[in-house]
């Protein structure tokens, strides 16, 4: 498995870090392009990349602005469209570097899941399919109305004001080693800006409101034990979107289903679904 890194520039002049794990297969089946979650970075998906490579897929990812080894104020984006633009540039760079005209897939987890769903709805991309895991189309808890109102005011007046994201780290995985590694990872942070917080909530609602417009093959997966993002919102999206969406709920799994106990089954489900899509391209 060859792992290489590259840099690319955003439309507003930030430098973002990208990663590519290339399969040794002489006939790659496709490219899976990752958008990671809030506070983390693409380097946390090396195990996912390894299994994808073994199955014959290239795996690429990048650190979102304000995350990991990319530039930008920690936990901040000046607007949701900036994130969607960054995805477009990343996909172009991934295609350019890999240089193989095989099918392209977009895979997003958590915040990344919300981003890829919005990307599919708002940008009408040419992709072979999308995977979204634990997208926060709704949170598993209702933010206090006072706090939500304050966030909207700050988003308008001081959009780059950052605060703790209050993520319950123990709710990421039932595997204590994964939680400990997350806590010890120097590239992980607990910041979120007022603008990004409101954009995330509104982006989730946009996804639910426009689910009927979804047109790409989508593998949508969620753990029923997720205490961060609501699995019933994924069910609602799938119901509204119709036959293009394959919904898989993982009983009792926590937020990071790809890092939870039994993760091998989750990753194999992804690969099986990818194989079906590549045969239909």
CATH number at residue 159: 3.40.50.1820
What pLDDT shows up at residue 164?
A: 84
Compare 273 and 142 and report the one with higher pLDDT.
273
pLDDT tens per residue across span 212-249: 999 999 999 999 999 999 999 999 999 999 999 999 99
Give the pLDDT score at 100. 72
Question: Domain residues for 236?
Answer: 2-280
Tell me the whole-structure pTM to 2 decimals.
Answer: 0.95
Q: What's residue 134's pLDDT?
A: 98
pLDDT digits 0-9 by tens, 72-106? 999 999 999 999 999 999 999 999 999 877 899 99
Q: What was the pLDDT predicted at 139?
A: 87
Rounded to an integer, the average pLDDT of 127-145 is 87
Specify the number of domains making up the chain. Answer: 1
Average pLDDT for 59-78: 97
Percent of the chain with pLDDT strictly greater than 70: 93
The mean pLDDT of the chain is: 94
- pLDDT value of residue 180: 98
**What local confidence, expressed as pLDDT, does residue 147 receive?**
65
> Do 36 and 67 contact (CB within 8 A), yes or no?
yes
Q: Cα separations (Å) of 119 from 30, 88, 95, 129, 142?
A: 20, 9, 17, 12, 25
User: pLDDT for 156-168, tens place per residue?
Assistant: 766 787 888 888 9
Q: What's the confidence (pLDDT) of residue 93? A: 96
């Amino acid at each position: 498995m060859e792992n290489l890194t590259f840099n690319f520039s955003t439309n507003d002049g930030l430098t973002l870090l990208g990663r590519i794990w290339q399969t040794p297969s002489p006939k790659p089946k496709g490219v899976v392009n990752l958008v990671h979650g809030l506070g983390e970075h693409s380097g946390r998906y090396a195990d996912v990349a390894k299994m994808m490579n073994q199955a014959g897929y290239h795996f690429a990812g990048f650190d979102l602005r304000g995350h990991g080894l990319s530039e930008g104020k920690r936990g901040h984006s000046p607007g949701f469209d900036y994130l969607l633009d960054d995805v477009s540039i990343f996909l172009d760079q991934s295609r350019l570097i890999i240089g193989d005209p095989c099918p392209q897939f977009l895979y997003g987890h958590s915040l990344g899941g919300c981003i890829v769903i919005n990307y599919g709805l708002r940008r009408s991309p040419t992709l072979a399919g999308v995977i979204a895991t634990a997208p926060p189309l709704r949170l598993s808890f209702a933010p206090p109305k006072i706090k939500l109102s304050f966030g909207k005011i700050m988003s308008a007046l001081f959009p780059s004001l950052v605060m703790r994201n209050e993520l319950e780290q123990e709710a990421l995985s039932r595997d204590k080693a994964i939680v400990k590694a997350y806590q010890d990872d120097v590239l992980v942070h607990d910041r979120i800006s007022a603008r990004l917080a409101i954009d995330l909530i509104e982006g989730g609602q946009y996804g639910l409101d426009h689910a009927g417009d979804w047109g790409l093959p989508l593998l949508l997966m969620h753990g029923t034990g997720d205490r961060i993002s609501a699995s019933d919102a994924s069910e609602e999206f799938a119901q509204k979107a119709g036959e293009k969406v394959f919904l898989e709920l993982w009983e009792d799994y926590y937020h990071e289903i790809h890092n939870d106990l039994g993760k091998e089954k989750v990753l194999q489900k992804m690969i099986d679904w990818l194989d079906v899509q590549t045969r239909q391209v």
